[in-house]
């Protein structure tokens, strides 16, 4: 191009009006060099600068504010920008945990998280940052929030709040007062009273703490003993339970009192009639079936008053598939299920049809109107539901589902912390009126650990969260027995880890080391904690 520089207009004409024409040297030609570097000239001439063309300096100046924006700053500037916020990126190259997106996300959110340092909410948000990379472990904090409540709001995600977190009082090896430890099942009375089945502690815990059934008021308050005031379980001295597997309430009808049914894992079904604190338990039936495995998953009361038990039995594909066990008086009948693979929850509808939550990620409706029951999947393959451990009916077309986020829910392999799917546990809403069926999260992730049961009571959903899953060699309930202690449960998704065993182990150890450092820095100062994962 032969046009003189546009910068001449800023100079007195006496300096340039007699400039010679190109190709003679002139002031306008000299100023083109400065104009090209400072503000740019579209003349097709490149200004190489490393592996790119050098932009005009004014363009770079205009972009200076972007350097302070973690989502727009050049990647090489990210460590510099993060250093302003006391954030150091972990040296986890090759793991995919802190890729460029993750570093930008951490830098953008860390200031707000620092304001919550020392609180569970802040620690939870900080750990959630580790779930954005390719590895994406599932990190859950078990702080002893045993019984939680959820009040759904249309179109919003809500935070569950603790309804009952008071556990036993322990002095050394002495239990001064009992309390809820690992709520596994729950039933609700019409007045909002809650009956909670407590799985207690495993035999590896050398403390005299038993599996109990607790009656709690609508606010979560315990029944109490006379002075000294202590939480009082139902039938404390007469109800012997190996481990509670389910509780179900039959309302008062036809002159019969309200009755609570309790099932333990070995198969003993007992009942307590109101008033519960003065009644003695009655053994209704023993549901074991010879040498056939009995693996009770859930229990409810049918609309006609019969007790229904969902039994996994030997499992899908075996001679003893999952089944529905019906207890009518002293008569026990069993009906095998045809399509349910990993049963996790059971709901009876007003029309006596059943809804079963299947660990394959669907809900199965069972029509019992004929001798040959009909099973219909309600959700399409590939929906977001993972492990429906409880189903609650809101309307004929709207259900709330407790999703534990783990598949398989009961891992059969040698490593229970590497699963096919490992996502945060949430409550989901399932809307059957849409095509395809809409499944959306109702609660914010990160507030549930290993939820097993849910019931509607008093306009809200009450969730049982027994916390860290029981794993041989790991004592999972110490965080439930010591108020100043909490657990951090770490699961990995199999498909996100390297295929080679040595590399998988190395990645998991690096991730665990980073989480340990994070928790030590961000946890409340007065607390102790342990990492629950087979690493």
Is residue 198 pLDDT above 70, yes or no?
Answer: yes
Q: Is the dihedral of CA 234, 394, 350, 390 positive or negative?
A: negative
23 vs 500, higher pLDDT:
500
d(CA 84, CA 100): 18
d(CA 375, CA 82): 55
Q: What is the pLDDT of residue 87?
A: 81
d(CA 460, CA 63): 50
* pLDDT per residue as tens digits for the range 119-159: 777 888 888 776 656 788 999 999 888 999 999 998 899 99
Q: What is the mean pLDDT of residues 450-470?
A: 92
> DSSP characters for 99-112?
-HHHHHHHHHHHHH
Say if residues 386 and 409 touch (Cβ distance below 8 Å): no
Of 179-188, 449-458, 473-482, minimum mean pLDDT range:
473-482
Q: What is the pLDDT of residue 100?
A: 83
Q: What is the mean pLDDT of residues 290-317?
A: 93
Is residue 328 pLDDT above 80, yes or no?
Answer: yes
Q: What is the pLDDT of residue 481?
A: 81
Q: What is the mean pLDDT of residues 169-192?
A: 91
Is residue 421 pLDDT above 90, yes or no?
Answer: yes
Q: Percentage of the chain surpassing pLDDT 70?
A: 94
Question: How confident is residue 463, by pLDDT bands cut at 50, 70 and 90?
Answer: very high
d(CA 417, CA 532): 9
62 vs 435, higher pLDDT:
435
Write the CA distances from 366 to 256, 292, 373, 456, integer angstroms. Answer: 29, 24, 7, 22
Nearest-10 Cα torsion for 150, 152, 157, 160: -10
d(CA 218, CA 163): 9
Backbone angles phi and psi of 510, in degrees to 5: -65, -45
Q: What is the pLDDT of residue 44?
A: 67
Length of the chain equals 535
DSSP H or E run through 441: strand 438-441
Is residue 496 pLDDT above 70, yes or no?
Answer: yes
Most confident by average pLDDT, 50-54, 72-76, 112-116, 425-429 = 425-429
163 vs 59, higher pLDDT:
163
Reading phi first (left if > 0) and then psi (alpha if -120 to 50, else beta), residue 350 is in alpha
3-class SS of residue 490:
strand
Q: What is the pLDDT of residue 385?
A: 96
- State pTM to two decimals: 0.84
Write the CA distances from 22 to 6, 15, 37, 117, integer angstroms. Answer: 16, 17, 21, 68
Backbone angles phi and psi of 59, in degrees to 5: -65, -40
Of 373-387, 429-443, 463-477, minimum mean pLDDT range:
463-477
Nearest-10 Cα torsion for 524, 530, 534, 535: 70
501 vs 473, higher pLDDT:
501
Of 10-19, 40-49, 221-230, 249-258, minimum mean pLDDT range:
40-49
Q: What is the mean pLDDT of residues 508-523?
A: 86
Residues 196-221: b if buried by 16+ CB within 10 A, e if exposed: bbbbbbeeebebebbbbbbbbebebe
Residue position matching structure tokens 């910068």: 7
Is residue 117 pLDDT above 60, yes or no?
Answer: yes
Q: What is the pLDDT of residue 474?
A: 63
DSSP one-letter code for 277? G
Task: Return the structure tokens found at 329.
Answer: 């008086």
The contacts of residue 428 (CB under 8 Å, 6+ apart) are: 384, 385, 400, 401, 402, 403, 439, 440, 441, 442
The terminus-to-terminus CA distance of the chain in angstroms comes to 68
411, β-bridge pairs: none
Number of H helices, E strands in the chain: 7, 33
Question: How confident is residue 478, by pLDDT bands cut at 50, 70 and 90?
Answer: low
Q: What is the pLDDT of residue 289?
A: 82
Q: What is the mean pLDDT of residues 302-328?
A: 94
Q: Which among 6, 92, 91, 16 is positioned nearest to 41, based on CA atoms?
A: 6
Domain boundaries defined on the chain: 6-62
Question: How confident is residue 477, by pLDDT bands cut at 50, 70 and 90?
Answer: low
d(CA 247, CA 195): 7
Backbone angles phi and psi of 443, in degrees to 5: -115, 155
Across the beta sheet with 282-286, what order do the strands follow? 244-250, 259-264, 268-273, 282-286
Is residue 471 pLDDT above 80, yes or no?
Answer: no
Question: How confident is residue 91, by pLDDT bands cut at 50, 70 and 90?
Answer: low
Is residue 432 pLDDT above 90, yes or no?
Answer: yes
* Average pLDDT score, the chain: 87
Question: How confident is residue 192, by pLDDT bands cut at 50, 70 and 90?
Answer: very high
Alpha helix stretches (DSSP H) within 413-496: 478-481
* pLDDT per residue as tens digits for the range 205-238: 778 889 999 999 999 999 999 888 999 999 998 9
Say if residues 466 and 182 touch (Cβ distance below 8 Å): yes
Q: What is the mean pLDDT of residues 276-299?
A: 90
| Sequence-ordered strand ranges (E) for 96-218 | 138-142, 147-150, 161-164, 169-171, 174-177, 183-188, 194-198, 212-216
| Most distant pair of Cα atoms in the chain: their distance | 117
Write the CA distances from 75 to 91, 199, 262, 299, 526, integer angstroms. Answer: 16, 50, 59, 55, 38
* pLDDT per residue as tens digits for the range 234-269: 999 899 899 999 999 999 988 788 999 999 999 999
Is residue 186 pLDDT above 90, yes or no?
Answer: yes
Give yes or no for a cis peptide into 392 (omega within 30° of 0).
Answer: no
Q: What is the pLDDT of residue 79?
A: 87
Question: How confident is residue 1, by pLDDT bands cut at 50, 70 and 90?
Answer: low
């Amino acid at each position: 191009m032969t046009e003189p520089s546009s910068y001449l207009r800023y100079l007195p004409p006496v300096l340039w009006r007699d400039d010679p024409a190109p190709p003679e040297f002139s002031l306008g030609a000299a100023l083109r060099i400065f104009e090209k570097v400072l503000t740019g000239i579209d003349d097709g001439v490149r200004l190489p600068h490393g592996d790119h063309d050098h932009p005009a300096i004014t363009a770079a100046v205009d972009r200076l504010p972007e350097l302070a924006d973690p989502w727009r700053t050049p990647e090489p500037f990210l460590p510099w920008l993060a250093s302003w916020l006391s954030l150091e990126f972990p040296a986890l190259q090759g793991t995919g945990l802190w890729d460029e997106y993750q570093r930008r996300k951490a830098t953008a959110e860390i200031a707000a998280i620092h304001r919550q340092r020392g609180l569970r909410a802040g620690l939870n948000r900080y750990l959630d940052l580790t779930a954005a990379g390719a590895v994406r472990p599932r990190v859950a904090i078990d702080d002893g929030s045993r019984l939680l409540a959820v009040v759904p709001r249309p179109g919003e995600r809500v935070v569950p709040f603790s309804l009952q977190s008071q556990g036993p009082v322990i002095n050394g090896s002495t239990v001064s007062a009992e309390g809820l430890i690992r709520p596994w099942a729950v039933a609700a009375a019409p007045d909002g009273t809650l009956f909670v089945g407590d799985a207690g502690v495993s035999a590896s815990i050398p403390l005299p703490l038993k599996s109990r059934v607790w009656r709690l008021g609508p606010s979560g308050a315990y029944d109490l003993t006379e002075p000294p005031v202590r939480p009082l379980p139902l039938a404390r001295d007469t109800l012997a339970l190996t481990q509670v597997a389910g509780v179900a309430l039959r309302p008062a009808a036809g002159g019969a009192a309200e009755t609570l049914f309790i099932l333990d894992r070995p198969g003993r079904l007992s009942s307590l009639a109101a008033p519960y604190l003065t009644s003695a338990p009655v053994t209704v039936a023993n549901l074991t079936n010879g040498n056939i495995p009995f693996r009770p998953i859930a229990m409810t009361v049918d609309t006609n008053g019969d007790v229904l038990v969902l039994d996994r039995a030997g499992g899908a594909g075996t001679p003893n598939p999952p089944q529905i066990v019906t207890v009518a008086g002293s008569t026990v009948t069993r009906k095998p299920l045809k399509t349910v693979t990993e049963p996790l929850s059971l709901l009876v509808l007003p029309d006596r049809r059943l809804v079963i939550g299947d660990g394959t990620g669907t809900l199965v409706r069972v029509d019992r109107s004929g001798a040959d029951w009909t099973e219909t999947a309600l959700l399409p393959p590939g929906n977001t539901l993972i492990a429906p451990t409880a189903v609650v009916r809101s309307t004929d077309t709207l259900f709330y589902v407790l999703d534990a986020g783990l598949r398989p829910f009961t891992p059969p392999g040698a490593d229970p912390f590497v699963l096919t799917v490992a996502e945060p546990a949430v409550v989901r809403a399932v809307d059957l009126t849409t095509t395809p069926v809409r499944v959306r999260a109702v609660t914010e992730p990160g507030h549930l650990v290993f939820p097993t049961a849910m019931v509607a009571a008093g306009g809200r959903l009450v969730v049982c969260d027994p916390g860290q899953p029981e794993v041989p060699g790991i004592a999972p309930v110490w965080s439930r027995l010591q108020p100043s202690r909490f657990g951090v449960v770490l699961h990995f998704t199999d498909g996100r880890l390297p295929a080679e065993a040595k590399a998988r182990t190395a990645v998991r150890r690096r991730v665990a080391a980073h989480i340990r450092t994070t928790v030590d820095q961000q946890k409340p100062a007065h607390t102790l904690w342990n990492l629950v994962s087979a690493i």
